[in-house]
Amino acid sequence: MFSLLKKPLVGIDIGSHSIKLAYLKQTKRGYELLHFGMVSLPPDTIVDGEVENPSAITDAIKNLLKAEKIPSGARHCVFSVSGQSVIIKKITVPLMSEDDLAESIQQEAEQYIPFDIDEVNVAFQVVKAEGEVPKKGEKAPDDDDSQMDVLLVAAKKDVISEQSEIIKDAGLKPTVVDLDVFAVENGYELAYGLAEDDTFALVNVGASVTNVNIIENGITAYTRDIALGGNVVTESIQKNMGIGFRDAEKYKLGHLDESASKDDFVAAIKSGVHEICEEIKKTFEMFQRTSEGHVRRIYLCGGGALLDGIAGIIMQEIGLDCELINPFRGMKVNRRRFDEEYIEKIAPVAVVAIGLATRKLDES
Ligand SMILES: Nc1ncnc2c1ncn2[C@@H]1O[C@H](COP(=O)(O)OP(=O)(O)OP(=O)(O)O)[C@@H](O)[C@H]1O
Ligand SMILES: [Mg+2]
């Protein structure tokens, strides 16, 4: 068991656009990147969060394991879920030990979760407490009416088991399940740390989902998964320029046909990003209703962050500084193994997989 505990996990980020895989080594001086790779999925593999073609994902993972030469001993992995199958809520409960909370959380969760409680896995994390959280087996005094804030997480069992099966079919052992928003936080923290006296938003723009995690005083204060991502920009190009999805996607990556109007293209990009920004703004307003803090800046990641000029458009739309996250900043990257230019370029897309790969086997 002990040797297992010391073994790193393979981080697998299953997205509707692509699969990313990362494997790190932890040394005394911090992390070293051993393996990172990604592979696109055929269109319609995952539609509106539903897996339509599981074997395409299994094949993609198998290909990645082979292409990245992941050692055959590294089979335990961690993956993450997001979107409609996940609920994250901050709740306030009386001060109690974590083992007491573990016993009562299922019942407690029932009133906050819009799913049948038997259909979800529930987890929690104490984020803030008035006074000291009682230790295992201890109780807070009866006259103590102190409270604590707990981040309650519920994820649908069927979605977790579906993804687990897909991963098992690829020859891996899914051992830990995480959430995209937390993986982004871990990937960010690894590179930049979490300042105690700051409020900022981590925004992961995928293809179909944008995960927002607002960090206040070093902890998650508010999260929301927006059902919009880079696809909305592609669709905007399609509409504005009268072309199909494939061509629009090609244009978006910077390969504009000579005959195409640059003005129409720029207008389409702006209007697509505008839609995402409206939802980000709405998310900040929702956060504002729960806190006195103000989001001061935005850190961006995901494939959507690679869109040329997106940080500038977001700055204009939302009026906050916006920077791209480079999760490799916080670790050793062997320049003989990885092409520096490539790693720099795709860094924001790797955040979730890197955040996942920092998880350990003993964590739940
Ligand atoms: N160089 C680029 N320029 C512009 N957009 C890009 C670029 N590279 C990727 N994208 C876009 O990023 C999106 C994919 O991002 P990502 O890989 O983070 O999504 P995903 O994790 O597969 O999807 P999701 O999590 O939403 O299911 C797509 O919309 C893709 O077109
Ligand atoms: Mg994603």
Expressed in angstroms and rounded, the spacing between residue 110 Cα and the centre of ligand 1 is 35
CA–CA separation, 195 and 284 (whole Å): 19
CA–CA separation, 168 and 222 (whole Å): 33
Expressed in angstroms and rounded, the spacing between residue 11 Cα and the centre of ligand 2 is 13
Expressed in angstroms and rounded, the spacing between residue 75 Cα and the centre of ligand 1 is 26
Atom number, ligand 1, closest to the C-alpha of residue 249: 31
Which one of the ligands is nearest to 48 CA?
1
The pLDDT, as a whole number, for residue 2 is 41
The SS3 call for residue 194 is coil
Atom number, ligand 1, closest to the C-alpha of residue 231: 29
CA–CA separation, 51 and 266 (whole Å): 33
The SS3 call for residue 242 is coil
Expressed in angstroms and rounded, the spacing between residue 148 Cα and the centre of ligand 1 is 38
Contacts 24+ apart (CB under 8 A), 214-220: 214/283, 214/284, 214/287, 214/295, 215/185, 216/291, 216/293, 218/194, 219/127, 219/128, 219/194, 220/88, 220/127, 220/151, 220/181, 220/182, 220/185
Expressed in angstroms and rounded, the spacing between residue 209 Cα and the centre of ligand 2 is 7
Return the residue whose CA atom lies nearest to atom 21 of ligand 1.
Answer: 15
Which one of the ligands is nearest to 301 CA?
1
Return the residue whose CA atom lies nearest to atom 8 of ligand 1.
Answer: 303
CA neighbor of 24 nearest in space, from 174, 178, 187: 187
Atom number, ligand 1, closest to the C-alpha of residue 41: 22
Four-residue CA torsion sign, 300, 305, 308, 313: negative
The total of other beta-carbon atoms located within 10 Å of residue 148's CB is 20
CA–CA separation, 283 and 279 (whole Å): 6
2-233+270-357: CATH architecture: 2-Layer Sandwich (3.30)
Residue to probe by mutation, ligand 1, list 38, 252, 345, most atoms within 8 Å of CB: 252
Pocket of ligand 1 (CB under 6 A): 15-18, 206-209, 229-231, 249, 252-253, 302-304, 306-307, 349
Residue to probe by mutation, ligand 1, list 61, 204, 245, 306, most atoms within 8 Å of CB: 306
Atom number, ligand 1, closest to the C-alpha of residue 205: 18
Which one of the ligands is nearest to 18 CA?
1
Expressed in angstroms and rounded, the spacing between residue 8 Cα and the centre of ligand 1 is 27
Which one of the ligands is nearest to 38 CA?
1
Indicate the domain borders of the chain.
2-233+270-357
The pLDDT, as a whole number, for residue 131 is 86
Return the residue whose CA atom lies nearest to atom 31 of ligand 1.
Answer: 230
Residue 130 buriedness (CB in 10 A; 0-12 / 13-18 / 19+): middle
Those residues of the chain that have pLDDT short of 70 are 1-6, 362-364
The total of other beta-carbon atoms located within 10 Å of residue 313's CB is 20
Given the structure tokens 């190009």, which residue do they identify? 237
Atom number, ligand 1, closest to the C-alpha of residue 302: 18
Expressed in angstroms and rounded, the spacing between residue 98 Cα and the centre of ligand 2 is 31
The pLDDT, as a whole number, for residue 364 is 45
CA–CA separation, 123 and 208 (whole Å): 25
| DSSP class per residue in 330-342 | GSEE-TTTS-HHH
Q: Are 48 and 64 in contact (CB under 8 A)?
A: no
The pLDDT, as a whole number, for residue 132 is 87
Four-residue CA torsion sign, 119, 125, 129, 135: positive
Contacts 24+ apart (CB under 8 A), 345-348: 345/306, 346/38, 346/306, 348/300, 348/301, 348/302, 348/303, 348/305, 348/306, 348/324
The pLDDT tens digits of the residues spanning 245-278 come to: 999 999 999 999 999 999 999 999 999 999 999 9
Atom number, ligand 1, closest to the C-alpha of residue 304: 12
